[in-house]
Amino acid sequence: MVALDPTPRPLDHLALRGAGNAPALVLKDRVLTYRELEERTAGLAAWLRGAIPETGGRVASWLAKTETACLLPLACARAGLVHVPINPLLKRAQVAHILADSGASLLIGTEARLASLEGDDLPESCSAMGEKDLALALQAVDERLDPSQANVDDLAAILYTSGSTGRPKGVMLSHANMWLGAVSVAHYLELASDDVTQAVLPLSFDYGQNQLLSTWYAGGSVVPLDYLFPKDVAKACARHGVTTLAAVPPLWTQLTEIDWPIEAVASMRRLTNSGGALTPRLIDALAGIFPDSDIYPMYGLTEAFRSTYLPPDLVADHPTSMGRAIPFAEVLVIDDDGRQTADGQEGELVHCGPLVAQGYWQDRARTAERFRPAPQSSEYGGTAVWSGDRVIRDADGLLYFAGRRDAMIKTSGNRVSPQEIEDAALASGFAREAVALGVTDDRLGQAIHLVVRGDPADEVALAKHLSGELPNFMQPRAFHWREAMPKNPNGKVDRVALQLEIAQEALA
């Protein structure tokens, strides 16, 4: 088990953690040792420094899990720049928003993704470079940047996440946020230098990016994988002797429905979950396939990285619990009067401590809503993340999820803004009113249903428009057409009534 060192360091120092000849990154066609990881990080950082001399400049990436995508978090940090990873599943409209909002100076992407951009999608102040052109440019770079001496409170990354209203917002993470997140996870997962982590989650997510960072902190190796089918995950686990696999509930559901090679089961030490709750049935299925592997249910939010985990020895007796606070996190349950709740009493989960992010990029209003002074009972004090999630703490200190205040849809491990879907539907011209709702689904967590006031004959055209504007995980599972929307006494669409109505229709 790695030591729980509370002293953060510049993020790029993670490239120095492992033994020089030990494998750090296992790619399709080669393996980078820690010595090579450090050398490539130093070279890429030197090129970035030459391309963007402004300290704090933003570098966006829109990539699959390639070498470049894996190195950019460290290389940007070393060059004094801020990394803005973009989910590869997003479409051009969302990418254009992120580029404009972040003020990115450079977008590095695959040639196909860059070719999908239109008109003014790429701001005038932002240049674009294909990954192949970058590789050629790096061949001519002889300079190497030494490990940085950055202030650990400096901004290192902006991760864009959906909110309940409007377009994605950028969560600002410092070197310290990301370093201590890596230390915390490596410690409680008991990662070691001989661990092999299969990275299947998008590197644009804090959970996905931590697959790299926590493993490198422990000196282990990472195997990035862009998979097409669940069986690809199982085969890769067997091929590489994977010991650690992280996923979200919809993917776990798929992974429990396939045959697992004996080699993959034998090497697996731990399974970790976030992005939605594991059901008791799913836990039983995983335990049946991996009887000798530890299962770690976890809860997190990008604004504070991760808040809780349930130790494996408690999973069987408390399968629905979120667990307790992870190292470096203080998690409080606060009532409407600002006081800590009694055991068994529902309250809001409030996260305090050094994992709390720096707020939302250039958005003081929304920052003020979510990032507020810590409760008086906090040992850390300072700024806390008021999650909006309602939880209950039992007499043993274990937390249980009770619900959310906002209208976010949680589907396939993604937090989706209803308004973003609704705006796209209204922009199509085929909807006069639109309401996006999440309906409980065994495989997805929640399936997206779109209630539309308009002509049902336009459904095919509306679906085609949405498929071109929104990523796959935002596509509605079903359309419900209405001549009129129910309204509440204030004249607004009654979302609660619609939610109940659509849920009943889904069960029928």
Structure confidence by residue, pLDDT tens digits, 366-384: 999 999 999 999 999 999 9
User: Do 86 and 462 meet the contact criterion of CB atoms below 8 Å apart?
Assistant: no
How much is the pLDDT for 490?
55
User: Do 106 and 51 meet the contact criterion of CB atoms below 8 Å apart?
Assistant: yes
Q: Of the candidates 379, 276, 290, which has an alpha carbon nearest to the alpha carbon of residue 330?
A: 379
Query: Alpha helices of 219-351 — where are they, by DSSP H?
Result: 230-240, 249-255, 262-267, 280-289, 312-315
Spatial separation of the C-alpha atoms in residues 111 and 129, rounded to whole Å: 8
Q: What is the DSSP letter of 287?
A: H
How much is the pLDDT for 309?
98
User: Do 21 and 33 meet the contact criterion of CB atoms below 8 Å apart?
Assistant: yes
Spatial separation of the C-alpha atoms in residues 388 and 163, rounded to whole Å: 12
Q: Of the candidates 379, 393, 386, which has an alpha carbon nearest to the alpha carbon of residue 342?
A: 393
How much is the pLDDT for 399?
97
| Distance, CA of 426 to chain centre | 28
First to last CA, the chain: 51
Handedness of CA 36, 37, 42, 43 (dihedral sign): positive
How much is the pLDDT for 164?
53
Residue 507 sits at φ, ψ, to 5 deg, of -80, -20
The residue type of 147 is P
- Half-sphere CA count of 283, side-chain side, radius 13 A: 22
User: Do 340 and 333 meet the contact criterion of CB atoms below 8 Å apart?
Assistant: yes
Round the CA-based radius of gyration of the chain to a whole number and report it.
Answer: 23
CATH topology classification for 409-507: GMP Synthetase; Chain A, domain 3 (3.30.300)
How much is the pLDDT for 488?
66
Q: Of the candidates 78, 81, 92, which has an alpha carbon nearest to the alpha carbon of residue 158?
A: 81
**Residue 269 burial (CB count, 10 A):** 19
Max CA-CA distance within the chain?
68
- List C-alpha distances in Å: 308 to 94, 123, 185, 409: 30, 39, 11, 21
Q: If residue 215 lies in a helix (H) or strand (E), which one and from where to where?
A: helix 206-218
How much is the pLDDT for 459?
96
pTM, full prediction: 0.87
The residue type of 308 is T
Residues 422-446 as b or e (16 or more Cβ within 10 Å = b): bbbbeebebbeebbbbbbebeebbb
The SS3 call for residue 118 is coil
Q: If residue 460 lies in a helix (H) or strand (E), which one and from where to where?
A: helix 459-469
Q: Of the candidates 29, 19, 91, which has an alpha carbon nearest to the alpha carbon of residue 66?
A: 29
How much is the pLDDT for 296?
98
Spatial separation of the C-alpha atoms in residues 138 and 136, rounded to whole Å: 5
Spatial separation of the C-alpha atoms in residues 473 and 466, rounded to whole Å: 11
**Residue 33 burial (CB count, 10 A):** 17
Spatial separation of the C-alpha atoms in residues 85 and 62, rounded to whole Å: 6
The SS3 call for residue 463 is helix
How much is the pLDDT for 166?
62
- List C-alpha distances in Å: 36 to 89, 279, 328: 30, 41, 31
Spatial separation of the C-alpha atoms in residues 180 and 53, rounded to whole Å: 28
Handedness of CA 386, 390, 393, 398 (dihedral sign): negative
Q: Of the candidates 28, 445, 125, which has an alpha carbon nearest to the alpha carbon of residue 274?
A: 445
Spatial separation of the C-alpha atoms in residues 416 and 427, rounded to whole Å: 18
Dihedral over alpha carbons 200, 205, 208, 212 (to 10 degrees) = 130
Tokens at residue 457, please? Answer: 């004959």
Low-confidence ranges of the chain (pLDDT < 70): 163-166, 404-407, 488-492, 508
Instruction: List, for residues 169-196, the tens digit of each pLDDT value.
Output: 999 999 999 999 999 999 999 999 999 9
